[in-house]
Structure 1
Amino acid sequence: MKTSASLSSLLLATTTSAVHIPRHANTTEYSVKTPPLDTPWTYEVGTNPWPEYPRPLLERSQWKNLNGVWRHQNVSSLDAVNSPPVGQTLENAVLVPSCLESGLSGVQGEYMLYNWYSTEFTVPSDWTGENVLLNFGAVDYEATVFVNGKKAGFNRGGYFAFTLDITSYLTSGTNELLVFAHDPTDSDPYVIPIGKQTLNPSHIFYRPCSGIWQSVWIESAPANYITELNLNADMNGKVSGSITTSTNTSTSVEMTFTPRGGSGSSATHKCTSGDFSFTIDSPQLWSHESPNLYDIDIKVGQDQVKSYTGFRTVSRGVIDGVERPLLNGEFVFFMGTLDQGYWPDGLYTPPSYEAMTYDLKTLKKIGYNGLRKHIKVETDLFYKACDEMGLLLIQDMPSLRPSQTRTLKDCTEETILPNNAQQAEFQRQLQVLIKQFRNYPSIITWVIYNEGWGQITDPPYPEFGLTDLVLQLDPTRLIDATTGWYDHGAGDYSDNHHYANPQCGSPFYSIQSSPYDPSRIGFQGEFGGIGNNVSIEHLWNVQEAIDTINQTYEIDTTLAAWNYRGHELLGELRYQVQEYACSGAVWTQTTDVEGEVNGMLTYDRRFLRPDLAQWNADFGAIYDAAAGRSNSSMKLF
């Protein structure tokens, strides 16, 4: 699949800056390292990756993209952070953003625990008198940032954005930026949120992603600028939230809401920074079927930003005696995939916006109305795309050291679980997840724990306190406290995992999941997982991964058999919707990943397994069955 000339021109036109190449970086030194498998976009990335503005919910007009070819050097210890290589030329060219273990990075290293990055930048002359903010989309896992040899800031957490005000560190002309990235992944004694990453890949656990893997940019802002925007818009037109500024002083605020697409009139509200609440009459509602959005122009003192929202309400209700998830007061059956978000060429980082949205468009084409973002966090542009396309999202918190054990001196084994300090850090990063992404209307549910990974299972059970915390930060969504087993009754969902057959809101269950709890929403958090092996040109060509293919839950020897089994399993799900209390389901999975061959698409995105007519019909039957259970009176909670 080739990027069209018109699309390439459009993408280039959306950024306000050309590719940044530091003076000491020779772009001829950078090239893609041949990955074990490529995609149609691998060799089209070039040296100007991800030119789009990276933060669509708080967008400033004056900005400069720092993505491109930087310099990189792997070092041997954490102590290296104390000796920043100021004014030095680091060993290798590296493409930012990209995982250091990926082919796209130009490094494709292993055990990238300690790494230096360097680049140079200039500040546009028309930013004189403004503050200069340095933004990182995500750096895995810890980032220590130096500007012109001085430490400008530190961030911990491999999935989340952070901003540094670097105004006082700048000089006229060229400025040097150094970043030290420390990523222990699952090395001892660290117990940190890592999702599916591991230093020792095996079947359902994959090659890690270290370093700067999301966009880097600078922007100008006045001395008193917006640092946090929290905004929710519900189905009744109520807009509520808060605005925080850098000086924490009361500042005048003006917000203008305009329906995207030109239909309908604008509405303006004036208030002051801090908490706000007001109502817009008769808004056009956002849903998976009609993803109506409102663009927002926000003025806070001298700071002007653009944002957007969707008016919608997520809640629980009883319909015909069954607990149901509700969108805008109606029961909507969730049908999504387990979406790992891995790429053979970029690992955590998709090759491009076009590549990323190809997955989403494919899911809609098959008939899914959503996805479960599985123990990974994506770029803000991913959530923007889901908002615009009308995809319902379940968002997981990345797991701590999933399903790992250690051998003690007496030769016994124990499950690796967090100590008090590590649990407190997990809780802090969970809060960061909620705060960063709670404004995206497509997200309907937060997941705290997956299948007991990193979950302390002795009382007092932590998921109860964490559920209360999430609800305090975001009372506008549902919470799946424990998807899979070790369910002690917290949260809104009674969530079953079972392969390959579903057990959704049903009077039967396996020992790995708890029985259906009728006081909560019956949900199939994972099922399916049926595999179909393919020829080597579509496989992750690493022998250790190929050797684990038969660990897939079920292997169907032909594509016809795979589609037959899909039809049978979806038929069982339809029956459980029709006869029992099933309210949603997650099929494993969007794409193959490394040694797994159970995706809708192969890992290279070149081969689509589903018979579209069959799967469209099967999903239609499931949605019809759910609609048939929705014709009774309901009570909102």
Structure 2
Amino acid sequence: MFVVVPTLIAISVFCVGSWAVSGSHTSANSPAPYRLLTPLLDTPWTAKVGTLPWPQHPRPLLYRDHWQTLNGIWTALSGIMVNGVTYMWFATTFTTPSGWPTGQRLLLNFEAVDYEATVFVNGAQVGFNRGGYFRFTVDITDNVNPDGENALLVFVFDPTDSSPYHIPNGKQTTSPSHIFYTPCTGIWQPVWLESAPSSYITSMNFAADMEGTVTATIHSGTGGSNPVEISILDDDGSVVSTQSAVSDETFTFTVPSPKLWSPDSPNLYNITVKMGADNVSSYTGFRTISSGTVNGIQRPLLNGKFVFQFGTLDQGYWPDGIYLPPTLEAMVYDLGLLKGLGMNMVRKHIKVEPDLFYQACDRLGLLVIQDMPCMPATVSMETSPPDAAEQAEFERQIEVLINEHKSYPSIVTWVIYNEGWGQLREASHPEFPITTRIRELDPTRLIDATTGWFDHGAGDFSDNHHYAEPQCGTPFYSTPSSPYDPNRIGLQGEFGGIGHIPAAENLWPVQAAIDTINQTYEINSDLDSYNYRAHVLLGLLRDQVARFACSGAVWTQTTDVEGEVNGLVTYDRRFVRVDAIQWKADIQALYAAAGARA
């Protein structure tokens, strides 16, 4: 399944599972020049990756002028594109840009390394991070040679789902099998340098509501009460509000009569923040997410109104990048496909994307239901659940997820557990205290504690999964593991999943995956029957919206993934299955049915 390569090679900085770029060696000590490898299955963007992948600034909510990407060809001192690799080294060199201000701190940023990363600069250990989905920053000022070349080494440990480890890994597995996929190990998101003053902003949180109230916290690296000045600018660049405050303390202020953010009008406001010599920029959107009773039914509310949420289960896998799209354009293509069909939501399924994904949703106007990546969903999990330390680490990483992403306007719901995967099920039911903790960290969003089943009553949603027909918002579809609860919001967390076998050139060409295609929930013989079946299922959902307490639904899924052939588009993104005219009409009918209930 994987291409076996020599011990010392040159690779893209990203994902070990990536097929897009690599190299081979001519001697034991020197890598060959860059060359494009032929992936098992490419996309229209594969050839555009080049030697400088993802050149965009990776953190749109905290931007400084002086930064430099370290993406590109790195040297790896380990096996690459070989399944089952647990330990590996990545190496590169860098010089500090000559035009940067003197006397500042040099920050080394990693957007995501799966799973544990130990970082060395010029032979000195400078940092460590655990967690395959989250960013970390290392101040390397005292370890670099400002006038010459510097050596950067990253040692990675990633057990994925191998026994006896229980770590948040989503659908990655060392043994791919239909709904579990090729793993991604190592550096899979951008690495970059940044120049900042000696007293600098480490992170910022903004929550802006429909009344114009902004709640903000500016975190500093030094702590204490550093004076800060915040300006809110409209899309014309005009300042609509300024506020003086201090760092590391939460404060509020008001913007008069803001243009609200919604899927129909995704209005955004730019933000500038000054703290001493540090100048950063960000943005926000004014909207309020809440839950309330509308005509006797518990509903999700956006800006005080019931908005029916409809979108896809979005896995975020790519044949030429595994966990990372080959380019930003490729990533936005998937989201644009959903928006173009009239969908207003996407469920990011047990994976965390690069920040530019959430910025794209903010700009397009797509509501995001964000899952926490689960711990392994294996048979052994049933008899060997996470121990206390592993559960504590899972809960710590939930807090990291919330804190890193709670300023994106598009995110409306946090999901703790998917279908019981990695969920402790003893009487204490940890989803209850986890829900409480999430509300403390972020009171501005809803919480889906258990999407699918093993629902003990925590969170804001009564969430049902059923294939292929929906079973949403009514007591006669209640089950012990997924009970109907009129006091919570009725959500069809997954349904659909109907499939169609595409031409061979659009399939993931791995026989083990092909052999699992028949495990797809339903297979339709041709596109006419596929689209008719979709029309029937969306009609059933529309009827449940009109008659019962169904407030949203998630269709499986955006794209095919390896042996799954139930996407709106094939895995290579070259063949779209859906009849766009029919789907648009059926989706609009859902909104109309919901509007009649509101």
Does TM-score exceed 0.5, indicating one fold? yes
Structure 2 counterpart of 1:192, from 154, 167, 170: 167
Following TM superposition, by how much is the alpha carbon of 1:53 offset from its aligned partner in structure 2, in angstroms? 0.3
Query: What is the distance in 2 between the residues matched to 1:379 and 1:599?
Result: 22
Give 2:504's aligned residue: 536
Secondary structure of residue in 1 paired with 2:407? coil
Structure 1 residue 272 and structure 2 residue 246: aligned?
yes
Give 1:181's aligned residue: 156
Structure 1 residue 618 and structure 2 residue 591: aligned?
no
Query: What is the distance in 2 between the residues matched to 1:36 and 1:510?
Result: 43
Over 3 Å counting, the alpha-carbon distance change for 1:269 and 1:133 in structure 2 is same
Give 2:371's aligned residue: 396
Secondary structure of residue in 2 paired with 1:490? coil
Q: Which amino acid aligns with 1:56?
A: P
Contact 2:520-2:566 at 8 Å conserved across structures: yes
Contact 1:496-1:513 at 8 Å conserved across structures: no
Which is worse superposed, 446-455 or 251-260?
A: 251-260
Contact 1:27-1:69 at 8 Å conserved across structures: no
Query: What is the distance in 2 between the residues matched to 1:488 and 1:27?
Result: 55
How do residues 429-468 of structure 1 correspond to structure 2 at under 5 angstroms?
Answer: 429-468=397-436
Over 3 Å counting, the alpha-carbon distance change for 1:543 and 1:328 in structure 2 is same
Q: Which amino acid aligns with 2:196?
A: A
Give 2:485's aligned residue: 517
Give 1:29's aligned residue: 33
Give 1:5's aligned residue: none
Query: What is the distance in 2 between the residues matched to 1:333 and 1:545?
Result: 35
Q: Which amino acid aligns with 2:307?
A: V
Query: What is the distance in 1 between the residues matched to 2:268 and 2:31?
Result: 40
Secondary structure of residue in 2 paired with 1:257? strand
Q: Which amino acid aligns with 1:617?
A: A
Contact 1:540-1:603 at 8 Å conserved across structures: yes
Structure 1 residue 244 and structure 2 residue 219: aligned?
yes
Over 3 Å counting, the alpha-carbon distance change for 1:339 and 1:449 in structure 2 is same
Structure 1 counterpart of 2:90, from 110, 117, 120: 117
Following TM superposition, by how much is the alpha carbon of 1:27 offset from its aligned partner in structure 2, in angstroms? 8.5
The CA deviation string for residues 414-448 of structure 1, in whole angstroms up to 9 with x for no partner, is: 44421000000000000000000000000000000
State the identity %.
61
Query: What is the distance in 2 between the residues matched to 1:343 and 1:136?
Result: 21
Q: Which amino acid aligns with 1:149?
A: G
Q: Which amino acid aligns with 2:64?
A: R
Contact 2:231-2:239 at 8 Å conserved across structures: no
Query: What is the distance in 2 between the residues matched to 1:189 and 1:35?
Result: 32
Following TM superposition, by how much is the alpha carbon of 1:332 offset from its aligned partner in structure 2, in angstroms? 0.4
Give 2:307's aligned residue: 332
Which is worse superposed, 271-280 or 323-332?
A: 271-280
Structure 1 residue 68 and structure 2 residue 72: aligned?
yes
Over 3 Å counting, the alpha-carbon distance change for 1:602 and 1:58 in structure 2 is same
Contact 2:314-2:348 at 8 Å conserved across structures: yes
Contact 2:455-2:483 at 8 Å conserved across structures: no
How do residues 254-265 of structure 1 correspond to structure 2 at under 5 angstroms?
Answer: 254-262=229-237, 265=239
Q: Which amino acid aligns with 2:127?
A: G
How do residues 431-580 of structure 1 correspond to structure 2 at under 5 angstroms?
Answer: 431-509=399-477, 511=479, 513-580=481-548
Following TM superposition, by how much is the alpha carbon of 1:512 offset from its aligned partner in structure 2, in angstroms? 7.5
How do residues 104-503 of structure 1 correspond to structure 2 at under 5 angstroms?
Answer: 107-125=80-98, 126-171=100-145, 172-262=147-237, 265-273=239-247, 274-405=249-380, 414-503=382-471
Secondary structure of residue in 2 paired with 1:606? coil
Secondary structure of residue in 2 paired with 1:405? helix
The CA deviation string for residues 435-470 of structure 1, in whole angstroms up to 9 with x for no partner, is: 000000000000000000000111100000000011
Query: What is the distance in 2 between the residues matched to 1:224 and 1:155?
Result: 23
Following TM superposition, by how much is the alpha carbon of 1:290 offset from its aligned partner in structure 2, in angstroms? 0.3
Secondary structure of residue in 2 paired with 1:628? helix
Give 1:103's aligned residue: none
Following TM superposition, by how much is the alpha carbon of 1:218 offset from its aligned partner in structure 2, in angstroms? 0.5
Q: Which runs of 5+ in 2 are unaligned?
A: 1-26
Following TM superposition, by how much is the alpha carbon of 1:515 offset from its aligned partner in structure 2, in angstroms? 2.7
Give 1:596's aligned residue: 564
Secondary structure of residue in 2 paired with 1:508? helix
Contact 2:31-2:75 at 8 Å conserved across structures: no
Q: Tell me how many residue pairs correspond in the alignment.
A: 568
Query: What is the distance in 2 between the residues matched to 1:482 and 1:328?
Result: 25
Secondary structure of residue in 2 paired with 1:576? helix
Q: Normalising by the residue count of structure 2, what TM-score does the alignment of the two structures yield? A: 0.93
Over 3 Å counting, the alpha-carbon distance change for 1:416 and 1:337 in structure 2 is farther
Following TM superposition, by how much is the alpha carbon of 1:243 offset from its aligned partner in structure 2, in angstroms? 1.3
Query: What is the distance in 1 between the residues matched to 2:223 and 2:374?
Result: 34
Aligned-residue Cα RMSD (Å) equals: 1.5
Query: What is the distance in 1 between the residues matched to 2:334 and 2:340?
Result: 10
Query: What is the distance in 2 between the residues matched to 1:161 and 1:539?
Result: 33
Following TM superposition, by how much is the alpha carbon of 1:513 offset from its aligned partner in structure 2, in angstroms? 4.6
Q: Which amino acid aligns with 1:252?
A: P
Q: Which amino acid aligns with 1:333?
A: F
Contact 1:416-1:454 at 8 Å conserved across structures: no
Over 3 Å counting, the alpha-carbon distance change for 1:547 and 1:510 in structure 2 is farther
Following TM superposition, by how much is the alpha carbon of 1:28 offset from its aligned partner in structure 2, in angstroms? 5.5
Secondary structure of residue in 2 paired with 1:29? coil
Following TM superposition, by how much is the alpha carbon of 1:266 offset from its aligned partner in structure 2, in angstroms? 2.5
Following TM superposition, by how much is the alpha carbon of 1:36 offset from its aligned partner in structure 2, in angstroms? 1.9
Contact 1:133-1:166 at 8 Å conserved across structures: yes
Structure 1 residue 57 and structure 2 residue 61: aligned?
yes
